[in-house]
């Protein structure tokens, strides 16, 4: 897939997996919904392939949603704001970052948030128990250059402008309002990583509540896909979703874990993608042939075990 525009390197973004994910989604949908949108990497890819012309982008992180709405609907405004903040960096760039961070925590101004995301460690959004952004700056760099940022912002805006609804609701409210013609892609925080609280969202999601919401989608015949649990080496993250939901589980091999490599271990990171029952019916034959063509990237599992033995 050709390189897609992405203004920030947001941790947890599915930017590098989106080509694999889209192989298992419908080729046309009336409206594409992301209840845990982040920086909407999957929606950007969906728009680039003309899979949908309508999008609902939701995230409980309100400044993040407001920032993405600026990027999509008022690109010149956020480009100029980012350029001003970026150019204001002086010899003590770290001090500048902390000043911007303090101002953002007072105002929740999404225009300041873009600079923090571009400069913070690993593009990782973190909040303290009081809901204040507390991630440190990456002192090896000064953030994305304004010229590159402009190019990426304009690219996203071209793809999504005038096509999106933006909200900062609880994901359950979004799912409850979804319609049968919609398709929903979900990338919630890993239950095994965040526990009862995820620092990106101020509060985590409860496993039982999430399962009940998925059961309701099944009853209403709404198609969905979920990036949920995963594993690194022999360590798993997150409780697998119940078999009773009738979901098809695909394991996507992401690659070697950089964290493990630094510790001298060879560990492969794998992320799971769950497909709703009605989606499986539509694309299962193509799915099976793709898996057999690219055995080192994807492993398809049945609810009760391995679907096919793939040569490694």
Q: Show the 3-state SS of 195-255.
A: CCCCCCCCCCCCHHHHHHHHHHHHHCCCEEEEEEEEEECCEEECCCCCHHHCCEEEEEEEE
pLDDT of residue 190: 56
Alpha-carbon distance of 256 to 234, in angstroms, equals 13
Q: Which residue has the higher pLDDT, 271 or 41?
A: 41
List of domains in the chain:
1-187 (1.10.1020.10)
pLDDT of residue 277: 92
Helix, strand, coil share of the chain (percent; to 5)? 40, 20, 40
pLDDT of residue 253: 78
The number of CA neighbours under 13 Å toward the Cβ of 82 is: 31
Pick from 155, 157, 177: nearest CA to 33 = 177
Q: What percent of the chain has pLDDT over 90?
A: 55
Is residue 312 predicted with pLDDT exceeding 50? no
Q: What is the mean pLDDT of residues 120-148?
A: 89
Q: pLDDT confidence of 11, banded at 50, 70, 90?
A: low
Contact between 204 and 194 (Cβ < 8 Å):
yes
pLDDT of residue 195: 41
pTM of the predicted structure, to 2 decimals: 0.84
pLDDT of residue 236: 65
Residue 298's SS3 state is strand
pLDDT of residue 18: 87
218's tokens: 């099944």
């Amino acid at each position: 897939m050709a390189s897609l525009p992405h203004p920030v390197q947001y941790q947890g973004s599915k930017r590098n997996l989106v080509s694999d994910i889209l192989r298992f989604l419908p080729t046309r949908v009336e409206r594409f919904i992301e209840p845990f949108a982040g920086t909407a990497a999957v929606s950007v890819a969906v728009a680039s392939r003309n899979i949908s012309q309508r999008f609902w982008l939701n995230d409980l992180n309100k400044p993040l949603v407001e920032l993405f709405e600026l990027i999509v609907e008022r690109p010149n405004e956020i480009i100029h704001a980012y350029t001003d903040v970026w150019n204001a960096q002086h010899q003590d760039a770290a001090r500048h970052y902390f000043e911007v961070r303090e101002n953002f925590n007072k105002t929740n101004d999404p225009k300041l948030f873009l600079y923090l995301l571009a400069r913070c460690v690993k593009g990782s959004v973190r909040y303290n128990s009081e809901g204040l952004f507390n991630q440190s700056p990456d002192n090896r760099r000064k953030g994305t250059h304004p010229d590159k940022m402009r190019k990426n912002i304009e690219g996203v805006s071209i793809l999504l402008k005038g096509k999106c609804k933006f909200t900062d609701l609880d994901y359950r409210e979004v799912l409850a309002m979804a319609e049968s013609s919609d398709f929903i892609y979900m990338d919630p925080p890993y239950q095994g990583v965040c526990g009862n609280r995820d620092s990106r969202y101020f509060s985590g999601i409860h496993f039982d509540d999430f399962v009940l919401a998925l059961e309701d989608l099944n009853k209403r015949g709404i198609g969905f896909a979920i990036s949920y649990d995963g594993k690194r080496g022999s360590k798993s993250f997150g409780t697998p979703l119940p078999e009773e939901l009738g979901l098809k589980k695909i394991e996507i091999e992401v690659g070697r874990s950089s964290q493990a490599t630094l510790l001298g271990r060879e560990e492969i990171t794998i992320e799971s993608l769950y497909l709703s029952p009605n989606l499986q019916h539509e694309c299962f034959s193509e799915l099976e042939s793709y898996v057999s063509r690219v055995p080192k990237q994807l492993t398809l599992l049945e609810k009760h075990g391995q679907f096919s033995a793939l040569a490694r």
